[in-house]
Amino acid sequence: VIASSLQLQAKQIFFCQFAFHTYTTAFTLLNGNDTTKDEKNSLQQKRIFFGLGAICYAALIGALPFIFMNRYTLKSSLTQLVVKKILPVPLFGLTSAFTVVAVRSPEFENGIEVMDRNGKVLGVSQKAGEKAVKETALSRGVLFGTTLFLPAVLMHFVERANFAKTPRALASVRMFMITSVLTGMLPASLSMFPQCGEIKRADLEPEILSSTEDTVLFYNRGI
C-alpha cells in the first residue's frame, strides 16, 4: 500500500500494484465462501484464472494514468495534481473491490449455502452469494481507498506547513500516516458487515422459500 502511494514511474507503479493485488487476491482466494457448489477442480481453476486476469487488469488500470502522462508528455501542474494525487485514490479503491468480485464471481454464479438460525443448511442461493460478494468488495474498497485518501489529505497540510523539510522526512511522515490509517481502518472495514451475514427469506429463491418459515436466513460472508 505504501509503495503504491508513492509518486513513482509508470513501470514502478505497475510492479507495485501487481505485487499488491497479487497479495490481496491470494488472500481473497483463501478466505472466500467454500460452500459454492461446482466440480472442485473446475471451481478452483476458474477462481485462479479469474484471479490472474484481475491482478493484471487492476495493475494496468492503476498505472494507466502515469503511462498516458509519460506517453503524451503531459507535464502541466494540473495534470501532475490529477494523475499523481487525485486519481490514485478512487482507482486504488475501485480496483481493490474489482479483484474481490472477479475472484469470487463463482459464488454469485453458482450460489452459496444458506442456513437457519440453528445452522441447518437449507439450500444454495445465488442471491446470498451476490450479497456476500458485494459486501466484501465494498468493505475492501473502503479499506484501501480510505487508506490512500486520508494520508493524501493530511500530507497536503504537512507540505504547506513545511513541517517536514527534506524528501526523506516527508517520506517517513507519509509512511507513518499510511500505516496508522491502515491499522485503524482494518478492524473498521471488517466490522462494516458481520461475518455471518443475514438475508431476508423473501429475497431468496422459491425453492428455499418453501423449505422454511424463518423470516431471516444466514450465510458465511467470507473476508
Q: Which structural domain range is residue 6 located in?
A: 2-220
98: Cβ–Cβ under 8 A, 6 or more apart, which residues? 54, 57, 58, 137
Confidence band, pLDDT 50/70/90 cuts, at residue 163:
confident
* C-alpha to C-alpha distance for 20 and 215, rounded to whole angstroms: 41
Residue 83 CA to its chain's centroid (Å): 21
Whether 55 shows a pLDDT value over 90: the answer reads: yes
Q: What total of structural domains would you count in the chain?
A: 1
* C-alpha to C-alpha distance for 25 and 31, rounded to whole angstroms: 10
Greatest CA separation for the chain? 68
Phi, psi of 158 (to 5 degrees): -65, -45
pLDDT tens for residues 175-186? 899 899 999 999
Give 31-79 as a DSSP string.
Answer: TS-TT--S-HHHHHHHHHHHHHHHHHHHHHHHHHHHHHHHHTT---HHH
pLDDT tens for residues 77-135? 777 777 777 888 899 999 999 999 999 998 888 889 999 988 899 989 999 999 999 99
* C-alpha to C-alpha distance for 110 and 212, rounded to whole angstroms: 21
Task: Determine what percent of the chain is predicted with pLDDT higher than 70.
Answer: 92
Question: Which cell goes with 134?
Answer: 458485494
Q: How many CB atoms lie within 10 A of CB 169?
A: 12
